[in-house]
Structure 1
Amino acid sequence: MRSMCCFSALLLLIMAPVVCQGGNILVFPMEGSHWVNMDVLLQALHSRGHSLTVVRSNKSWYIKEKSSYYNTITVSVEKAVDQKFIQKVIYEIMEYERGASRLVYLFHLIVGMFGTFLESHELLGGFVSALLDDAELTTYMKDSKFDLLLTDPCWGGGAIVAKYLNLPLVYNARWLIAGDAHLAIAPSPLSYIPVTGTRYTDRMTFVQRVNNMILHVITQIQLSWVIKDVYQKVCEKYLGPDCDYYQLMIDADIWLMRTDFVFDYPRPTMPNVIYMGGFQCKPAKPLPQHLEDFVQSSGDHGFIIMSLGTFVSELPADLANEIAATFAKLPQKVIWRYKGEKPDTLGNNTLLVDWMPQNDLLGHLKIKLFVAHGGTNGIQEAIYHGVPVVGIPLFFDQYDNILRLADRGGAKILSLSTMDKDDNFLKAIQEVLTEPSYRNNMQRLSRLHRDQQLTPMDNALFWMEFVMRHKGAAHLKAQGNRMPWYSYHSVDVALFLVGALILLLFTVFFLLRCLCAAVCKCKAKRD
């Protein structure tokens, strides 16, 4: 019996490497906050035994060249979308929103910023060219025999590299270059699916639906422009003149979508879209001692945290002073992630920090409120921990993100142009702190989010390993994404049927006319 047990244990040890064999994954990421959540996914993949290689620029400021859980391929470029480039764009947007009307601000985002938007993708196109022009690097990538390529499709280079290396493609996605990734692959009725930037819910008036359609057309024109001007040229250079970049871009095997329907509005979807909203969220860990001492000193009042995200580390002096003065009037303690000069009006109840363990603070028992810019990562963590939000959206999708919480009763929205007027910031904070419905609604969203058969992270990992096991997921790709627009929308069928009906009516009319003529001719002969 004992020998049998030993034999069984030996057999399990022999079989274990086969069962747990890790894959070899090439990662083509994006910088900034997008890298922050990509990094969480990479750490989870590493913990399951997968080998990871990250492609980065020599000018990267977030993606480190040395890591204990991934290798790197560093591509040398003269210019890149670096921290200086991003911060210049952000501060320009902030100044416009503070000083311009909503119409002027929107026009600036759509038209004025398009040149900057195009420039950023041209830099990315140059990065892809520098990678594929380097014979040593391309030989290394081919010899490495990767099992799949994981990329963020907000930058469009990953699909080209995957095709060049003939690898299955997995997206860590929410945005596809210029808009919501759903719009490219799933039926998306604009009557109830708001385009990002409209600031609408899924219940739109007629005028709002008109605006929604107009903005959708504009974003599609921008997408086509970027593809034609940047990625199609790179595609033809390395993959041949017959390669259509748009078809290549939407041909991912799996779309790991960084959202879910607790946060987002219900909409049609596709079988190869896997929802993993909040995959980076986890139970809170103990705080560093200095932070724990600070929040414990808040007593029954509790504490508030404020963070405006990865890219915004400081604010104009007048706005920073207004925020600090507002916090000084509160009985709560405040932890504010801020790297600018210390505001003159900073109160004794406010602690400025360069970095904060945001997830752990949001999960603390004494947390009362999150003052946030509306980035996806922070919003999902607020939902996970059930913490109400006062939102100060700055750019891109942030207003729309906070709007989804506000629409469900868990947040209050302010704008940069009005928050420093008539004590609006203070009033918003006091309303969310004193009205129980905000916290109750966020707690309800938290319960819905957590009540899942699989955690979002486990779901994402399963489908990535599924792609590696089966060399892709072609059976989940809809044929409709390969059809021309007129066939997809049955315009050709409609035209054929209308033509057939017109022909039938014309034939009937012609026969009736001939019959009438014959009857009249016979009648004339009898007369």
Structure 2
Amino acid sequence: MRLICCCSALLLLVLLPRTCQGGNILVIPTEGSHWINMDILLQALHSRGHNLTIIRSSKSWYIKDNSTYYSTYTVPVERSIDKEIITRIMSSIIDFERGALPLMSFLHSSVGLLDTVIEAHTAVGEYVSAIIDDRELIRTLKDTKFDVVLTDPCWGSGPILAKYLNLPLVYNVRWLIPEEAHFAIAPSPISYIPVAGSGLTDKMSFFQRVKNMIFYVVSQIQAHVAAKQVYQKICEKYLGPDEDFYQLMIDADIWLMRVDFVFDYPRPTMPNVVYMGGFQCKPAKPLPQHLEEFVQSSGEHGIIIMSLGTFVSELPADMANEIAAAFAKLPQKVIWRYKGSRPDTVGNNTLIVDWMPQNDLLGHPKIKLFVAHGGTNGVQEALYHGVPVVGLPVFFDQYDNLLRLEYRGAAKILTLSTVDKDNNFLKAIQEVLNEPSYRMNMQRLSRLHRDQPIRPMDNALFWIEFVMRHKGAAHLKPASLSMSWYSYHSVDVVLFLGGAVLLVFLSTFFLIRCLCNAMCKSKVKHE
């Protein structure tokens, strides 16, 4: 008995430092919905004893200055990616999409908004410069002895600061500038991997592959323009003239990818890519009393919830009225997260709220349908709880996210140009409600998603702590990250081998020619 107690005590002493000893994590987050999922990850890291420090701008509207689980440094800036910029972009997209043809929509999103996108990146660049120019802040950051930088690389601030502070780098990632992250580091044949914004699946016809190629070229031009005009200049100023921003950006130790292959299409990947799709999802908690009473009043018909995400706070009045009128014709109760003016056509069955516990409502037994814009967080929560979706995408990846569900028979997509015409909204909702296959397909995806050997959150936490323990994960980085494009694609090897074959061919040709000439001269002399 004494031996067992001694062994138990020894085992506890061995394990205790590893489980309780916290590290110092520097977090460089992004605003909006990206902060929502980052915040969930930070709370989990704090619960494991880690010290979290966040750098935020003075214009931040999502990231609070005071928190019980992280400390902050607030950097004064003149401008930032704030509500004004985002609202302007959203309003422009909604107004344009309602009357645009597909080609014009593509040109508007890829070219028409380029100046606005560059403006946003420029604001981020000024923020990075303000951080590095603050010598007192930089001295404090260096003295703190951080173990790792955790950032979302959809903007360029995190990679630059990690390099400047010479710290290991972990990404909470799905998007880079402005492409899906896999395209930057993993083999990505565009013959079957759709580019963001293309609206394609992994099964493409010839002309769809042509379209995919065009979208790929445009996205690369956008990335090149943004990187060269904004971030490359900052790299040259603070890191040296030989530092290439693109190489710096793809040199993260671990990429925590916010998808999994139940949701996304199968594709090549890399050893330092860790999949944590649905890491923010969790079982539903009890609803507040007023919401529970409203939900229970739905009876056997159940409830529908609608949310268009963080950035779309209101819709054009005529569209909002059409949506409200459609809801009023349904037997279900509806909870609609909406901050705009109250539509005139709201029915007695519809509750309009500024905020709702989305995850808890999606996990409620009476939920029947989720009307969503297609953001990654909401789509993953719907998948986790097995709730079918009617999608109303607004911009960027939202249509592609919803398409992945529609392709698997778990969602129905409407566009901004058709949602308020010919009762399309009402018809789509009734179709998904009345056709059992939508719910069955979504619940099948939910079972696949949940059937994993380790929870996505635990997987993410392990790899963050792995990088902290080992000061990086260089052994997982492929050599391709440091190769030039012509070496990666073996263009130089092909040219060399082609040249060698040509040389052999020409040498043989001239040798035969010389022999023939010599034989002819010998024959002439003999005659």
TM-score, normalised to structure 2, is: 0.98
Measured in 1, the distance between the counterparts of 2:8 and 2:33 equals 48
Q: Is the 8 A contact 2:19 2:48 kept in 1?
A: no
Q: Amino acid of the residue matched to residue 171 of structure 1? A: Y
Q: Amino acid of the residue matched to residue 268 of structure 1? A: P
1:261 aligns with 2:261: yes
Residue 521 and residue 8 in structure 1: after superposition, are their counterparts in 2 closer, same or farther (change >3 A)?
A: closer
Measured in 2, the distance between the counterparts of 1:291 and 1:210 equals 49
Measured in 2, the distance between the counterparts of 1:412 and 1:212 equals 23
Q: Amino acid of the residue matched to residue 37 of structure 1? A: N
Matches within 5 A, 1:170-181: 170-181=170-181
Measured in 2, the distance between the counterparts of 1:240 and 1:470 equals 27
Measured in 1, the distance between the counterparts of 2:10 and 2:493 equals 64
The equivalent of 1:489 in structure 2 is: 489
Residue 502 and residue 7 in structure 1: after superposition, are their counterparts in 2 closer, same or farther (change >3 A)?
A: closer
Residue 192 and residue 3 in structure 1: after superposition, are their counterparts in 2 closer, same or farther (change >3 A)?
A: closer
Residue 516 and residue 251 in structure 1: after superposition, are their counterparts in 2 closer, same or farther (change >3 A)?
A: same
For structure 1, which segment, 203-212 or 185-194, has the greater mean C-alpha deviation from structure 2 after superposition? 203-212
The equivalent of 1:203 in structure 2 is: 203
| Post-superposition offset of 1:6 | 8.1
Unmatched 5+ residue regions in structure 1?
none
Q: Amino acid of the residue matched to residue 356 of structure 2? A: M
The equivalent of 1:354 in structure 2 is: 354
For structure 1, which segment, 218-227 or 409-418, has the greater mean C-alpha deviation from structure 2 after superposition? 218-227
What SS class does the counterpart of residue 399 from structure 2 fall into?
helix
1:320 aligns with 2:320: yes
**Deviations 1:422-472, CA, capped at 9 Å, x for gaps:** 111111101100100000000000000000000100000000000000000
Residue 14 and residue 216 in structure 1: after superposition, are their counterparts in 2 closer, same or farther (change >3 A)?
A: closer
Residue 205 and residue 467 in structure 1: after superposition, are their counterparts in 2 closer, same or farther (change >3 A)?
A: same
The equivalent of 2:55 in structure 1 is: 55
Measured in 2, the distance between the counterparts of 1:171 and 1:352 equals 36
The equivalent of 2:188 in structure 1 is: 188
The equivalent of 2:505 in structure 1 is: 505
Measured in 1, the distance between the counterparts of 2:15 and 2:300 equals 56
The equivalent of 1:16 in structure 2 is: 16
Measured in 2, the distance between the counterparts of 1:5 and 1:298 equals 57
Measured in 1, the distance between the counterparts of 2:258 and 2:186 equals 16
Measured in 2, the distance between the counterparts of 1:4 and 1:442 equals 49
Measured in 2, the distance between the counterparts of 1:9 and 1:202 equals 54
Indicate the RMSD between aligned Cα atoms, in angstroms. Answer: 1.4
The equivalent of 2:161 in structure 1 is: 161
Q: Is the 8 A contact 2:320 2:343 kept in 1?
A: yes
Measured in 2, the distance between the counterparts of 1:194 and 1:2 equals 63
Measured in 1, the distance between the counterparts of 2:19 and 2:47 equals 15
Measured in 1, the distance between the counterparts of 2:3 and 2:451 equals 45
The equivalent of 1:133 in structure 2 is: 133
Matches within 5 A, 1:270-285: 270-285=270-285
For structure 1, which segment, 467-476 or 17-26, has the greater mean C-alpha deviation from structure 2 after superposition? 17-26
Measured in 2, the distance between the counterparts of 1:7 and 1:308 equals 56
| Post-superposition offset of 1:525 | 2.1
| Post-superposition offset of 1:403 | 0.3
The equivalent of 1:467 in structure 2 is: 467
| Post-superposition offset of 1:519 | 1.6
Matches within 5 A, 1:378-457: 378-457=378-457
Measured in 2, the distance between the counterparts of 1:374 and 1:2 equals 59
The equivalent of 2:113 in structure 1 is: 113
| Post-superposition offset of 1:405 | 0.2
What SS class does the counterpart of residue 390 from structure 1 fall into?
strand
Measured in 1, the distance between the counterparts of 2:5 and 2:36 equals 46
**Deviations 1:92-116, CA, capped at 9 Å, x for gaps:** 1110000221111111111110000
| Post-superposition offset of 1:12 | 3.6
Measured in 2, the distance between the counterparts of 1:409 and 1:7 equals 55
Aligned residues: 527
What SS class does the counterpart of residue 368 from structure 1 fall into?
strand
Q: Amino acid of the residue matched to residue 261 of structure 1? A: F
Q: Amino acid of the residue matched to residue 211 of structure 2? A: N
| Post-superposition offset of 1:238 | 1.1
| Post-superposition offset of 1:20 | 2.0
| Post-superposition offset of 1:270 | 0.2
Measured in 1, the distance between the counterparts of 2:129 and 2:518 equals 76
Q: Amino acid of the residue matched to residue 421 of structure 1? A: K
Q: Amino acid of the residue matched to residue 221 of structure 2? A: I
**Deviations 1:158-182, CA, capped at 9 Å, x for gaps:** 1110011110000000001211010
1:286 aligns with 2:286: yes
What SS class does the counterpart of residue 99 from structure 1 fall into?
coil
Residue 303 and residue 234 in structure 1: after superposition, are their counterparts in 2 closer, same or farther (change >3 A)?
A: same
**Deviations 1:68-115, CA, capped at 9 Å, x for gaps:** 000001000011110111111111111000022111111111111000
Q: Is the 8 A contact 2:147 2:168 kept in 1?
A: yes
Q: Amino acid of the residue matched to residue 427 of structure 1? A: K
**Deviations 1:496-518, CA, capped at 9 Å, x for gaps:** 11111111110111011111111
The equivalent of 1:335 in structure 2 is: 335
For structure 1, which segment, 266-275 or 104-113, has the greater mean C-alpha deviation from structure 2 after superposition? 104-113
The equivalent of 1:84 in structure 2 is: 84
The equivalent of 2:228 in structure 1 is: 228
What SS class does the counterpart of residue 370 from structure 1 fall into?
strand
Measured in 2, the distance between the counterparts of 1:94 and 1:381 equals 25
| Post-superposition offset of 1:3 | 11
| Post-superposition offset of 1:344 | 0.5
**Deviations 1:372-427, CA, capped at 9 Å, x for gaps:** 00000000001000000000001010000000000000000000101111111111
Unmatched 5+ residue regions in structure 2?
none
1:38 aligns with 2:38: yes
**Deviations 1:485-506, CA, capped at 9 Å, x for gaps:** 0000000000011111111110
